[in-house]
Amino acid sequence: MHKSYNPSVYDWITLLKIAWRLEFECIKHHAIAELTARKDDPTNGLPPSEQILIALHCNIPSWLEPAYTKIVYDSAPLSFDVSVKLPPEVAIMLC
């Protein structure tokens, strides 16, 4: 019997980082497409801060503005834990 495998968001992130590092463009584009479709899912999506980190690391500029906007318009300020993960210039810009 064949069981289908449905990778989690974090599996796709891992695959994206590997494909980015090894310059596997086709796999990288597929992983970006999968993550883009899932990143705003309320139950299994990615927090905006994580979207920023991945976008900066893997050169996905289309993710940056929406993630910045979510953080800026969020009623809660950035937590210390989140702000230390971001590059200093990004954390300062978002405060």
Q: List pLDDT tens digits, range 28-76.
A: 999 999 999 988 887 778 888 899 999 999 999 999 999 999 888 887 7
The average pLDDT across 17-24 equals 95
Give the pLDDT confidence score for residue 2 in this predicted structure: 56
Distance CA 34, CA 6 (A): 11
Residue 1 has pLDDT above 70, yes or no: no
Closest CA to 32 of 46, 16, 19, 44: 16
